[in-house]
Structure 1
Amino acid sequence: MAGTRVLLGTEGAYPPFNYIDSAGELRGFDIEIARALCDAAGFDCAFVIQDWEGMIPGLLAKKYDAIVASMSITEQRREVVDFTNSYYDTPAKFVKAREAALEVPEELAATNAALAGLRIGVQRASSHAAFVGAELPDAELVAYATLEEAQLDLASGRLDLVLADSVVLLEGFLKTPAGAGFEFVGPNISVPEYHGHGAGIALRKGEDALREAFNAALRQIRADGRYQEINAKYFDFDVYDADN
């Protein structure tokens, strides 16, 4: 498959994994890993920007050949698309205002009662939205097109909590000026029913050769150190199997 033209769908609004920088360039961990994978597989790759809600529909409509956008490998998604092996795995976590007197229990069974009536922001059509909708029915789920919109509402006091990937919240919010005065609360959350088993590259069903080429390329960049070099540019821990 060397020389094959492969179009990759990504969101461009999920720092530090994929985002548009001040110069209008597509950046992030997803993007650099995708380029390394394409180089290892000998593919000629290009990116297509797509909003999150339309990501899988765009793949099925053949706007691109694969999705590299921190998409969790869940059983629900497996019903309509195939996935490569996971290329990173990080847990979810809640963020709140530091001054807010609220706690999130360590035990999932107690969480719904503890958060009853609170407004919880999530990205629409995400695994986190599925988790809150199913496991926290007594809370008020507030869904946004992008995580940035949820973070802005949290910062302005219109939300009590935001639930998202812990690394995205840490690097894209808590470590920024907008995140001053906010903090993580509660345990790491990784419920396979909702959060799956890491983030993988999504492909249309039946694209077995493309999937296996990406899997082989992932093994190669893990073995030759390219994965670790990219990881070190963004994180001070290994996101391949993180528990932060």
Structure 2
Amino acid sequence: MKKYNLMVLAALLGSFSAMSQAETVIRFGVDPSFPPFESKTPEGNLVGFDIDLGNAICKQANAKCEWVETAYDSIIPALNAKKFDAVLSAMAITEKRKAQVNFSNVIYNIPSVLVAPKGSHLDATVESLKGKVIGVAQGTTQEAYAKGMWQGKGVQVVSYPNQDAVNQDLASGRIDATFTNAATAEIGFLKTKAGADFGFVGKTVLDPQYLGGGAAIALRKDDQAQLQVINTALAGIHASGVYQLLEKKYFTFDVFKNNKP
């Protein structure tokens, strides 16, 4: 009888252990249209700094990563609808977003910049952009900045579903410039064949009011446990040097500070 009870106990413990392991999953929401942070290969695989960072976080936390593709302009509502556990998609920390979600510790801080044809001499000011058409990606802090600072003051701001669509119209001459994340512009457009005749113009922009104080991972307000897991894992990959290795893989400058590219 005792032997039977021990066998039952062992089976139950094994079942609980399996259940615990099965539940150790972090589901990240991502919009794969922001290289070098996240994009897709021709084969459909997710790649980029955020993808590698998320996988490193999961490894550090002894968890399994799952990735859920979601349009950026609806990614916070999808998070709060529990379609995934966290947003890891180049999301800047802003006061408006802080009212909707909790943020992890900062994962990087990169300035925004205008991209236009080389020699255009534009700058990120109303005076310089009057009469121009500026493309931005929907739901981004760059869209909020452009609409708040330029729209209605002689500058036409056009929103697109994603940055890839903006870049296509910029390359074809339908818009005069795009206002976007500097690293995304450098890797995702300027280093491509389509971006060969374009470059950064004017000064880079760091504006906490519109552009936030760096990017972080967004989580639901009531998910304090997952927030602690992610922050602990982030500290671990910084301490081990894994973060620095990933940074060097994708960037030529320090993205953890306010350095300019």
TM-score tier by shorter-chain length is over 0.9
Which structure has the larger Rg? 2
Match of 1:26?
46
Equivalent residue letter for 1:91: P
Equivalent residue letter for 2:260: D
Equivalent-residue separation in structure 2 for 1:65 and 1:5 (angstroms): 9
Equivalent residue letter for 1:113: E
Match of 2:104?
84
Match of 2:29?
9
2:167 aligned to 151, 154, 159, which one?
Answer: 151
Equivalent-residue separation in structure 2 for 1:237 and 1:99 (angstroms): 24
Structure 2 counterpart SS, 1:179: coil
Superposed counterparts of 1:182-197, under 5 Å = 182-197=198-213
Equivalent-residue separation in structure 1 for 2:69 and 2:139 (angstroms): 17
Equivalent-residue separation in structure 2 for 1:184 and 1:45 (angstroms): 35
Match of 2:7?
none
State the TM-score, normalizing by the size of structure 2. Answer: 0.88
**C-alpha distance after superposition, 1:157-197 (max 9, x if no partner):** 11111000001000111111110111110111010011111
Superposed counterparts of 1:154-193, under 5 Å = 154-193=170-209
Assess if the C-alpha contact under 8 Å between 1:99 and 1:181 holds in 2. Answer: no
Equivalent-residue separation in structure 2 for 1:31 and 1:190 (angstroms): 25
Q: Which runs of 4+ in 1 moved over 3 A?
A: none
Gaps of 5+ in 1: 106-110
How far apart are 1:113 and its partner, in Å?
2.2
**C-alpha distance after superposition, 1:83-137 (max 9, x if no partner):** 001101100000111143x4216xxxxx112211210000011100100111112
Equivalent-residue separation in structure 2 for 1:30 and 1:142 (angstroms): 27
Match of 1:126?
140
Match of 1:104?
123
CA RMSD of aligned residues (A): 1.4
Gaps of 5+ in 2: 1-19
- Report percent identity of matched pairs: 37
